[in-house]
Amino acid sequence: MNITETAVVGAYLVDVQEHADERGSFARTFDARLFELAGLRSVVVQANLSTNRRAGTLRGMHFQRPPHAEAKLVRCTRGAVYDVAVDLRPSSPTFLAHVGVTLDAAGKRALYVPEGCAHGYLTLTADAEVAYQVSAAYAPEAEGGVRWDDPALAIAWPRPVEVVSPKDAAWPTIDRARFAFGGPFGEDRT
């Protein structure tokens, strides 16, 4: 398993080392010891699976506020998605920066999204499936989000968004989120 830093502090690409023979292949997709050595949160509390019928489906940009903040290990298990993490930690040197990466079933690459980042993805193919391990249980009262098309974030989605839920379309811009919550994670920036 190779763990590689991205442009967002704490976000990493996780590439498996596949071993193949006449039977097929084997690859370890998670190793708590290696994650801990790399300084990544290795606790898995929930595992989620999302299916998406149409290409151009956007899910995001979601986060959970402390004390329910969560780290995610996201992998595309069928089709392809463009996966994005946005740093919403005011004290981070990469505050408001984002990393976007194509994840597909063939590549077996994953994106590790640390606590304090919003996460979302856009399906690049029909029938895309995304599996992710999460470090904290979902807490509806801690749920938050920011607009996927916020000009302040300037995410260059690789294709048009065709399907987005009313809830995801209604998340505030980053400026409104900071005004409403004293920062997306409740931190006062004044």
Q: What is the pLDDT of residues 146-180, one digit of tens each?
A: 999 999 999 999 999 999 999 999 999 988 776 44
Determine the average pLDDT of the residues in 111-121.
96
Tell me: pLDDT of 99 over 70.
Answer: yes
Cα–Cα distances (Å) from 5 to 13, 65, 90, 176, in that order, read 7, 24, 20, 30
Q: Share the mean pLDDT of the chain.
A: 92
> In terms of CATH, what superfamily is 2-18+25-181?
Jelly Rolls (2.60.120.10)
Q: CA-CA distance, 71 to 83, in Å (whole number)?
A: 14
pLDDT at 180: 45
Tell me: pLDDT of 5 over 80.
Answer: yes
Determine the average pLDDT of the residues in 102-111.
95
Task: Place 186 in a pLDDT band, splitting at 50, 70 and 90.
Answer: low
Evaluate whether 111 touches 71 at the Cβ level (below 8 Å). no
Residues 27-74 have pLDDT tens digits of 888 999 999 999 998 889 999 999 999 999 999 999 999 899 999 999
pLDDT at 15: 95
112 is catalytic: no
Percent of the chain clearing pLDDT 90 (strictly above):
82
Task: Place 90 in a pLDDT band, splitting at 50, 70 and 90.
Answer: confident
Catalytic residue (choose from 62, 98, 112, 119): 62
Give pTM, 2 decimals. Answer: 0.91
Determine the average pLDDT of the residues in 78-85.
98
Burial class (CB in 10 A: 0-12, 13-18, 19+), 85: buried
Catalytic residue (choose from 12, 112, 132, 138): 132
132 is catalytic: yes
Q: CA-CA distance, 138 to 70, in Å (whole number)?
A: 9
